[in-house]
Amino acid sequence: MASGNRSTVTEFILTGLTDKPELQLPLFLFFLGVYVVTVVGNLGMITLIGLNSHLHTPMYYFLSSLSLIDLCYSTVITPKMLMNFVTENIISYPECMTQLYLFVFFIVSESHMLAVMAYDRYVAICKPLLYNVTMSYQVCSWLVVEVYMMGLIGATAHTGCMLTVVFCKAKVINHYFCDIYPLLELSCSSTYINEVVLLCFSLFNILAPSLTIVVSYVSIIASILQIHSTEGRSKAFRTCSSHILAVTISYGSAAFMYLQPPNVSSMDKSKVVSVFYSIIVPMLNPLIYSLRNKEVKVALSKIIEKRPFCISKDF
């Protein structure tokens, strides 16, 4: 019996994305490539921002924090999923609860980090003269701490409730990681409290940041429309376009997954949606911000241009 609750299950079996043998190798190679791009992209973004003094601003401080979240987030999910393509993926009860805790922590943190980044863009565009005061180092640090605190609270609430669930029906999780809904399907005790907590926290962690983002961008658009210069309006829109794209992809997939009852869509469809927000989004975020951000591209080109000079100097 597992310590800490009354469950008779000590380990689970993750079914993975598919049980078709002909798809195992192609999917393994595809998601391995995605994970490599995710690690390189996010580590590269963190390193680039850290090395370039011109990027030591609140906007890029938050962006480096988002990259760290995406890197950790993907690492919690993808390696275990890759194992499922080559062998039977058994995960112990403590490992499953740990994965659930970290997954919730990082997905909630990402949701609130995107809201903080929207607020930063609002201050930069709508109140430029007060930007350095409003977004001081102390304020930025506190905002990041609050983001992680929201993740901590959400992860503790969901995992704490899951530890009270009795698992005695089966131990096969119809998913590629320990997500909330697939675990609740295995319960042989009441899951009412878990479902209420899930709905309440999902509403708060999706709708509250979404409201912050919507209000911020309504104000931003109103300010941009008051700019008489076409070049000025274009520059302001470019500043926000990367963030808007990242928010749309992240919030859209997460809302589709969690703001509905468990019986609305099949678990197979849910697995496809969760692949998007748990594996694809962490890969896309650094690509979106690097390919659509002029300052990031300039900083990257400067670093690339310096490398041959340094090599020739050594020789």
Lowest mean pLDDT among 69-73, 129-133, 156-160, 268-272: 268-272
- Both tokens of 311, joined, read 């090599």
Residues written for the chain: 315
- In this prediction, residue 40 carries a pLDDT of 93
- pLDDT tens per residue across span 227-253: 777 776 776 676 677 677 777 777 666
In the three-class reduction of DSSP (H, G, I as helix; E, B as strand; rest coil), residue 171 is classed as: coil
Mean pLDDT computed over 155-174: 86
Q: Is residue 306 part of a domain?
A: yes
pLDDT tens sequence across 2-32? 444 455 778 898 888 877 888 888 999 999 9
Is residue 309 scored above 50 in pLDDT?
no
Q: How far apart are CA 25 and CA 22, in angstroms?
A: 7
Instruction: Write down the pLDDT at residue 255.
Output: 61
> Which region holds residue 4: left if phi is over 0, alpha if psi is between -120 and 50, else beta?
left
CA dist., res. 186 & res. 173, Å (int): 8
Residue 256's pLDDT is what? 61
Of 145, 162, 164, 2, residue with least CA distance to 61: 145
- Asked if residue 247 belongs to a domain, the reply is yes
**Is 101 domain-assigned?**
yes
- Residue 79 placed within a domain: yes
pLDDT computed for residue 261 by the predictor: 55
Angle at 279 between CA 72 and CA 186, to 5 degrees: 95
> Considering its fold, how many domains does the chain have in total?
1
Q: For 172-231, what is each residue's pLDDT tens digit?
A: 888 889 988 888 888 888 888 888 888 888 888 888 888 998 898 888 888 888 877 777
Domain that residue 226 falls in: 11-314
**Which CATH number belongs to the domain containing residue 17 in this structure?**
1.20.1070.10
More confident residue, 90 or 104: 104
**pLDDT confidence bin for 312, thresholds 50/70/90:** very low
Residues 6+ away with beta carbon under 8 Å from 213: 114, 115, 118, 247, 251
Q: How buried is 25 (Cβ within 10 angstroms: 0-12 exposed, 13-18 middle, 19+ buried)?
A: exposed
CB burial class (10 A; 0-12, 13-18, 19+) of residue 13? Answer: middle
Residue 2 within a domain: no
User: How many other CB atoms are found less than 10 A from the CB of residue 41?
Assistant: 22
> Are 223 and 125 within 8 A, CB to CB?
yes
* DSSP assignments along 227-272, one per residue: ---HHHHHHHHHHHHHHHHHHHHHHHHHHHHHSS-TTSS-HHHHHH
Q: How far apart are CA 46 and CA 13, in angstroms?
A: 35
Whether residue 193 is contained in a domain is answered as yes
| Proportion of the chain above pLDDT 70, given as a percent | 81
Average pLDDT over residues 38-52: 90
> Is 4 contained in some domain?
no
| pLDDT tens per residue, range 257-298 | 555 555 544 556 677 777 887 888 888 888 887 766 667 777
pLDDT value at position 3? 43
Q: What percent of the chain has pLDDT over 90?
A: 29
1 located within any domain: no
pLDDT, position 160:
92
